[in-house]
Amino acid sequence: MKAEPICDMLVLEPCPKGELAVDPFVPPLNFAMVDHGIYRSGFPSPDNFRFLKTLKLRSILCVILFQVPCFVCRCLCQDPYPDINIEFLQENRITLVKIGIDGSKEATIPENRIREALKVVLDVLNHPLLIHCKRGKHRTGCVVGCLRKLQRWCIASAIDEYNCYAAAKARVSDQKFIAEFDETSMDQFQLHAKKTSFSTPDEALHHPEINREQ
Amino acid sequence: MKAEPICDMLVLEPCPKGELAVDPFVPPLNFAMVDHGIYRSGFPSPDNFRFLKTLKLRSILCVILFQVPCFVCRCLCQDPYPDINIEFLQENRITLVKIGIDGSKEATIPENRIREALKVVLDVLNHPLLIHCKRGKHRTGCVVGCLRKLQRWCIASAIDEYNCYAAAKARVSDQKFIAEFDETSMDQFQLHAKKTSFSTPDEALHHPEINREQ
C-alpha cells in the first residue's frame, strides 16, 4: 500500500493490513520549518533518518567548525562528517555543504561565513535544504535570524524567533549580531538569488569557505 | 517596481528608486510555519496585517472562546472578533473559522473541539491557513501538538515543539493532553483529508461548533 501524503511534509505509511504503521517519526532535535524548502535543526542522528527522508532534501548545510586536537601536529585539524551520516546522504543523493563556524561562547561570529551560509540558503536550487549545527540553537539561530532580516522582518521578531529555539541558552552576543547584521549589503545578491547557484563542483572550488561533499 | 518574491513567504519590496523599502514586516507574536500552507501565531494585530498579506492566506482558524461578562443578563456572552480584523479579512477574502476553546489554566481541553480544529487544518482547501489563539502558546500548541501526532511524530518531539512556543508558560495538562491524544481515531478522516472540505457555508451550518465568518 502506497504512503499517502497529506501535505508535503506529512506522510502516512499504512501497514499491509491497511492499519497505520506504528513506528513514529523522530525529527532531529529543535527541528522546524523556516520557510518553503528551508528547514532547521540540531545534528541529525540515525534515529532521524527515516523522518528526514520524508523531506526529500536536496542539500544539508552544516554550519559546524569540525576541530579535533591532533596529537601528531598538535594543531586543530578538520574532522569529517560522521560516516553513517555520509552514507545516508549518498543513499538519498543529498549534497552536504559545510561552512565552518565555531559555536563556542567566546568565539566571534564570523560575518563572512554567515553571508556564505545565507547565499547557500537563498539559492532555491539547493532546496529543500536543512540548516543544522549541533543543537540548532546558536549558529543555526544566527543564520536564520539574518535570513529574517533579509526577509524584512523587524529586529524584535527575528530575535524573538532566535530566543524561541535557543531558550535558556540564548546569547546576548548572537542577539547583537542579528540586530546589527547589515542585510542591505546582500540586496543585490538576494534579488538574483533565484538565478544564482553554487551547486556545481567547479563553482564550489572558487568558494574555499564552502566545503561540498556528496 | 514590482515586489520580488524569493520564496513564497519571502517578499522584497523595492522603493521606486530601486532601493529596498525601509519599513520592516512585523509577524504576529510567536509566528511560525508549521507545514506547507499551515502557519501558527498569537492574536494578529493591525501591525501584523502587512506581513500577513504576504502569506496570501485563504483561512484563519481562531481557537479562542470569546467570553465577556454581560452586565445585562450576567452570563458569559460571545464577543465578536475585533472589527478591524474583520475588515482585514474581508479586504483580503480570508475566511474566518472560530472554534471556541477556553484557554484558562483551570479549563479542561475539549477533545472534540481539538478534533474539529484538526479537520479544518488538514483540509487543504483551507490552505494557506493561520492557526491562532491569544499568545500562540497553549491552545494553538495543543492543536499543533495533536497534528504532529497525526503526522506520526513521536510524542517527545511533539511535546518538545509545544515547549518551544509555550516556553516558561508550558502546562503539564497540555503536554499530557498531547501525549494521550488518540490520533488513530482520526485516521479515516486523515486519509481522505484532501477530498473533504468544510468550506461551504451550508456545510458549516451542520457543524455547530464551527463558526464561520467572511
Residue A29 has pLDDT above 60, yes or no: yes
**Contact across the interface for A6 and B122, Cβ inside 8 Å:** yes
**Contacts across the A-B interface (CB distance below 8 Å):** 130
pTM as predicted: 0.81
- pLDDT of B21: 54
Say if CB B15 and CB B40 are below 8 A apart. no
State the CATH class of domain A31-185: alpha beta
CB of A136 within 8 A of CB of A29?
A: yes
Q: Which residues contact B155 (CB under 8 A, 6 or more apart)?
A: A24, B149, B178, B179
Task: Point out the catalytic residue in the list A62, A73, A133, A146.
Answer: A133
Residue A73 annotated in active site: no
Under 8 Å between Cβ of B140 and B132: yes
What would the pLDDT profile of A120-176 be if each residue is shown by its tens digit?
Answer: 999 999 999 999 999 999 999 999 999 999 999 999 999 999 999 999 999 999 999
Give the domain ranges of chain B.
31-185
Q: What is the pLDDT of residue A184?
A: 84
Minimum CA–CA partner of B194 in chain A: A6
Find the mean pLDDT for residues B134-139: 96
Minimum-distance CB partner of A35 among B9, B12, B165: B9
Report angle CA A116, A122, A126 to the nearest 5 degrees: 95
Instruction: Return residues 154-173 of B near A (CB < 8 Å).
Output: 154-157, 160-161, 164-165, 167
* Chain-chain contact of A6 with B190 (C-beta, under 8 angstroms): yes
Point out the residue among A23, A167, A193 whose CB comes nearest to the CB of B167.
A167
Chain A residues with CB under 8 Å of B12 CB are 152, 187, 190-191
**Residue B45 contacts A where some CB pair is shorter than 8 Å:** no
ipTM over 0.85: no
B118 half-sphere exposure, CB direction, 13 A CA radius:
27
